[in-house]
C-alpha cells in the first residue's frame, strides 16, 4: 500500500497538468483527495494498524495530502492566470485604431486669422465688440457721414434687403456701423475692435468675394492724436507679421474720418501692400455716436481679414479659401 500511496503525488501532478480548466482541476481534486479516493481509503485502514505502524503511515498520508493540495493550488493559479490573459485579449479596445479612422479638423483659415487678430489687440488693451449683419441705412451710411446721394455710397455696392422702406435695410457693406453701436452703448474711453462678416455686390474673382470679413478698430479718449493711430498700427504690424515688417499711412478719403489714410505694410523684400483704411474719427461721427467732439477725439481703422490670411499663407486666389475643398484647407 505504501508504494501506491507514495506514487499518488506524481499521478496527481500528471492529471493536474492535463486539466485545462478550473472545473477539471476540481475533478482531479475529488479523484485524489475526495471521500472515495485512495488516500481516504488508506486513512480508513489506519485503524487496523498497530500504534507504531499507524503513526508512520499516518505521517506519510499527511505528507502526500499536503503535496497534492499544494500542486493542485499551483495548477489552479496557473489556469486562472491564463484565463485572465485570454479575457483581457478578447475585451481589448484599441483606441489608436479609432483615432486613425476619424481625422480631426481644425479652424478655418479666416477664423484662425480672426482669433489671432483678436489676441493681438486684446493684448494691447482692446475689447471685442460685434454688431448685426443686417443693418439699417443710418448705421451703415448716415451716421458715418455719408451724405444722401453722396457718391461715396456708390463706392460700396450694397445688397438691399426687401424690408421696410426701399433701400432702408441692407446687408452691412463694412464693419464701420459697429463703431456707431459701440459709441451709443458705452461712454469713452473706448478701445474696441469689431470683427465680422460684410457683403458687397461683387463678382467673385482672385481678389474679391461678395461675402468677406473685416476687422474694425475704434479708439475714443481725451487727447487722441494721429500719432496714436500711426503708433498703434506700427505696433500691430510687427506683432502680426513679424519684425521685418513696417507700415506707412498714405493720404486718402473716407467720409467718416478726417484726415483719412490708407494703411500699407512694407514686406521684407521691400514691396508695399495695401491692407485697409484708417483716420481720425470725423466730428459728425462722434456726434452720431452721442459723444462730444469738443471733449473727445479718436481714431478708427478697418482691414480685410481674408486678405491678411491670404498674405500670411501666400495664397494667390481668394476663392480658394471659400470653395471648402478639404485638400486645400487641410494645409493650414
Give the C-alpha separation, 327 to 107, whole Å: 14
Interface pattern 46-75 for ligand DAH (x via CB under 6 A): ------------------------------
CB of 332 to ligand DAH, least distance (A): 25
What's the alpha-carbon Rg for the chain, to the nearest Å? 43
Indicate which single residue of 16, 72, 278, 321 sits in contact with ligand DAH (rule: CB under 6 A). Answer: 278
CA distance 278 to 298: 11
Shortest separation between residue 277's beta carbon and ligand DAH, angstroms: 3
d(CA 260, CA 37): 109
Q: Which of 257, 256, 195, 263 is nearest to 233 (CA)?
A: 263
What character string, x for contact with ligand DAH (CB under 6 A) and - otherwise, covers 159-198? ---------------x-x----------------------
Is residue 131 involved in binding ligand DAH (CB under 6 A)? no
- Residue 232 found at the interface with ligand DAH (CB under 6 A): no
Mark 282-311 with x for binding to ligand DAH (rule: CB under 6 A) and - for no binding: ------------------xxx---------
Of the candidates 188, 195, 277, 298, which one interacts with ligand DAH according to CB under 6 A?
Answer: 277
* Strand ranges, E, within 190-283: 190-199, 211-221, 246-254, 257-266, 272-281
Q: How far is the CB of 177 from ligand DAH (least distance, A)?
A: 9
- Show the CA angle centred on residue 107, arms to residues 101 and 108, nearest 5°: 115
Quick one: 188 or 279, whose CB is closer to ligand DAH? 279
Pairing of strands 257-266, 272-281: antiparallel
Do the beta carbons of residue 190 and residue 125 sit within 8 Å?
Answer: no
The partner residues of 160 in beta bridges, in order of sequence, read: 170
Nearer to ligand DAH, 241 or 301 (CB): 301
**Length, in residues, of the chain:** 332
Options 188, 216, 289, 308; binder of ligand DAH; rule CB under 6 A: 216
30-38, 70-78, 183-191, 277-285 -> range binding ligand DAH (CB under 6 A):
277-285
Q: Give the span between the Cα atoms of 124 and 194, in whole angstroms.
A: 15
Q: Residue 308: which residues within 8 A CB-CB, separation 6 or more? A: 113, 117, 240, 275
Site for ligand DAH in 249-268 (CB under 6 A): 254, 257
Interface with ligand DAH, residue 279, by CB under 6 A: yes
Min CB(174)–ligand DAH separation in Å: 3
Q: What are phi and psi of 135, to 5 degrees?
A: -120, 165
Least CB distance from residue 103 to ligand DAH, whole Å? 37
Q: Which residues contact 4 (CB under 8 A, 6 or more apart)?
A: 38
User: How many amino acids of this chain bind ligand DAH (CB under 6 A)?
Assistant: 12
The CA distances from residue 44 to 34, 59, 64, 199, in Å, are 13, 14, 15, 104
For residue 251, the minimal CB distance to ligand DAH (Å) is 12
- Tell me how far, at minimum, the Cβ of 315 lies from ligand DAH, in Å: 21
Q: Which stretch binds ligand DAH (CB under 6 A): 40-48, 104-112, 113-121, 274-282?
A: 274-282
Bond into 49 cis (ω within 30):
no
Binding site for ligand DAH (CB under 6 A): 174, 176, 216, 254, 257, 276-279, 300-302
Amino acid at each position: 500500500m505504501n508504494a501506491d500511496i507514495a506514487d499518488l503525488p506524481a499521478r496527481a501532478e500528471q492529471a493536474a497538468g492535463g486539466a485545462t480548466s478550473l472545473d477539471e482541476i476540481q475533478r482531479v481534486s475529488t479523484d485524489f483527495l475526495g471521500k472515495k479516493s485512495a488516500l481516504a481509503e488508506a486513512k480508513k485502514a489506519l485503524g487496523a494498524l498497530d500504534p507504531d505502524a499507524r503513526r508512520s503511515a499516518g505521517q506519510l498520508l499527511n505528507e502526500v495530502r499536503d503535496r497534492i493540495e499544494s500542486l493542485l493550488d499551483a495548477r489552479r493559479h496557473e489556469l486562472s492566470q491564463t484565463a485572465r490573459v485570454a479575457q483581457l485579449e478578447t475585451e481589448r479596445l484599441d483606441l489608436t485604431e479609432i483615432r486613425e479612422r476619424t481625422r480631426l479638423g481644425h479652424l478655418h483659415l479666416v477664423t484662425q486669422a480672426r482669433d489671432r487678430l483678436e489676441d493681438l489687440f486684446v493684448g494691447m488693451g482692446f475689447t471685442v465688440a460685434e454688431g448685426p449683419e443686417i443693418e439699417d441705412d443710418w448705421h451703415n451710411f448716415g451716421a458715418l457721414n455719408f451724405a444722401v446721394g453722396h457718391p461715396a455710397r456708390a463706392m460700396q455696392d450694397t445688397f438691399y434687403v426687401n424690408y421696410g422702406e426701399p433701400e432702408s435695410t441692407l446687408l452691412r457693406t463694412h464693419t464701420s456701423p459697429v463703431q456707431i453701436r459701440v459709441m451709443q452703448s458705452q461712454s469713452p474711453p473706448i478701445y474696441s475692435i469689431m470683427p465680422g462678416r460684410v457683403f458687397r455686390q461683387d463678382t467673385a474673382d482672385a481678389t474679391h468675394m461678395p461675402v468677406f470679413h473685416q476687422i474694425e478698430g475704434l479708439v475714443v479718449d481725451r487727447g487722441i492724436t494721429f500719432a496714436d493711430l500711426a503708433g498703434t498700427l506700427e505696433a500691430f504690424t510687427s506683432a502680426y507679421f513679424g519684425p521685418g515688417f513696417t507700415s506707412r499711412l498714405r493720404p486718402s478719403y473716407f467720409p467718416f474720418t478726417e484726415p483719412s489714410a490708407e494703411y500699407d505694410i512694407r514686406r521684407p523684400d521691400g514691396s508695399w501692400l495695401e491692407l485697409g483704411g484708417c483716420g481720425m474719427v470725423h466730428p459728425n461721427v462722434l456726434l452720431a455716436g452721442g459723444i462730444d467732439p469738443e471733449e473727445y477725439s479718436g481714431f478708427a481703422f478697418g482691414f480685410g481679414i481674408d486678405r491678411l490670411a491670404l498674405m500670411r499663407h501666400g495664397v494667390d486666389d481668394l476663392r480658394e479659401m471659400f470653395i471648402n475643398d478639404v485638400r486645400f484647407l487641410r494645409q493650414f
